Amino acid sequence: MTGDGGSLPRVTAGWQRGRAIGFEEHLGAVGPAPVPEKRRRHELIAAIERSGLLGRGGAGFPAAAKMRAVAGARRGRRIMVANGAEGEPASRKDQALLTRAPHLVLDGAVLSATAVGAGEVILCIKRDASAAVSAAVSAIGERRSSDGVEVSVVEVPAAYLAGEESALVNYLNTGRAIPTFVPPRPFERGLDGRPTLIQNVETLAHLALIARHGADWFRGLGAPDDPGSTLVTLCGAVAAPGVYEVPSGVSLGELVEHAGGPSTPIRAFLVGGYAGSWLAPERALDQPLDRASRRARRGKLGAGVVVALPATACGVCETARVARFLTEDSAGQCGPCVHGLGSIADALEEISEGTAESGTHLWIEKWAEDVAGRGACGHPDGVVRFVASALSTFRDEVLKHESGTECGGRSSRSWVLPLPEYAGAP
């Protein structure tokens, strides 16, 4: 099937305020999911490969590569895990998708499971996203058939690392949502030792549409190296914060204008969430929001989070507060997290409080270099990327803090960067 691949909306088509799209309504809008016959399931994987679909969960890994790895497993009953854990505190896209269009996600999950030969799908949603859990459970009940695939919902902890692939598998296996050492990776030996396909729920929604409309349709929008559309959570100093579907490759400036423009002068943008990078507006506004070009600039679009920091906020204090959260919410099972991130968070807090010695930021930069690439998982790499970008973008403020210049940002109770309630007060 073909369609107008150059237009929006796609995954957000038909979204209704305050309610999920029902099953019959969903079928009327997009038609039934073309579940492949067993002997032709490889054709769907080939179509996903031609589409160039990259994972929308954070790492941007090619969706088809994961599918081929699980489909080609030589032993073990395969299983599919749909990842809606969304541990990134600033992200709302997965919750919005599951709450508004759960059937599109379920279509993608069943299609993926069928393509790799899995007979079971586990949809993981963080337990404090009650609306998303309710919508998903209701949607499963509405569907008369899942084409021979058993689908269930599991609520997972609302923790930062809970959505990391090995942590998610570890939670399903042991009840502990912390990353494990790899290899083996989940596609080799995941849930109950079985070959496990893990895809983000937004990735699955795109996959469901590719199965209907084809790879060329998907490539009719977006950047050549990162085609299609993507969901972005935009918050902070913009007129209309929210979740937006945009073509991959749209500039940050275009996204902000689409949200009504700045609500107040902007000091900086955080692109990629808490494993991403701070950028000054003069550098950021013309930058394309696609995963390929962001990687080339040592940035990371991640799970699709953009925060506009108002000029009235203190980037040093905001960064110190989040760095402490990221340190305390780590798995605490390797030296880079236990010692490296702890030292970095301590020093950042001293800078933000105006009690640090001159040059403390140089020690942080050195520790960040020591930590990078040495963790048991990617968490410390994300933290030091976030911190290093802050030291660069807010250099003048860092130096003022080290000189003891007073800053009102530390005493603020109107923090811009959101943290989960369980993180406690700053």
CB 328 within 8 A of CB 426: no
Please state whether the predicted TM-score (pTM) of the whole model is above 0.85: yes
When computed from its CA atoms, the radius of gyration of the chain, rounded to whole angstroms, is 21
Residue range(s) occupied by CATH 3.10.20.600 in the chain: 223-310
Structure tokens at 414: 């109107």
CA distances from 123 to 5, 108, 303, 326 (A): 28, 11, 18, 25
Residue 174 has a CB neighbour count (10 Å cut-off) of 10
CATH of 223-310, one of 3.40.640.10, 1.10.357.10, 3.10.20.600, 2.40.280.10: 3.10.20.600
First to last CA, the chain: 53
Query: Going residue by residue through the chain (426 aa), what tens digit of pLDDT does each one get?
Result: 334 668 999 999 999 988 999 999 999 999 999 988 777 889 999 999 999 999 999 888 999 999 999 999 987 899 999 999 999 999 999 999 999 999 999 999 999 999 999 999 999 999 999 999 999 999 999 997 767 899 999 999 999 999 999 999 999 999 999 998 878 899 999 999 999 999 999 999 999 999 999 999 999 999 999 999 999 999 999 999 999 999 998 999 999 999 999 999 999 999 999 999 999 998 889 988 877 655 545 456 788 999 999 999 999 999 999 999 999 999 888 888 888 999 999 999 999 999 999 999 999 999 999 998 888 788 999 999 999 999 999 999 999 999 988 676 555 558 999 998 765 433
Alpha helices in 310-357 (DSSP H): 315-328, 335, 342-353
Q: What is the CATH number of domain 315-423?
A: 1.20.1440.230
- Contact predicate 34/116, CB 8 Å: no
Provide the phi-psi class of 242: left if phi over 0, else alpha when psi is between -120 and 50, else beta.
left
CATH classification number, 23-220, choose in 3.20.19.10, 3.40.50.11540, 2.60.120.370, 3.40.50.970: 3.40.50.11540
- In the chain, which residues fall in CATH 3.40.50.11540? 23-220
The pLDDT assigned to 425 comes to: 36
pLDDT on residue 146: 67
Give the model's pLDDT for residue 292.
Answer: 67
Model pLDDT, residue 426: 33
Residues of the chain with CATH 1.20.1440.230: 315-423
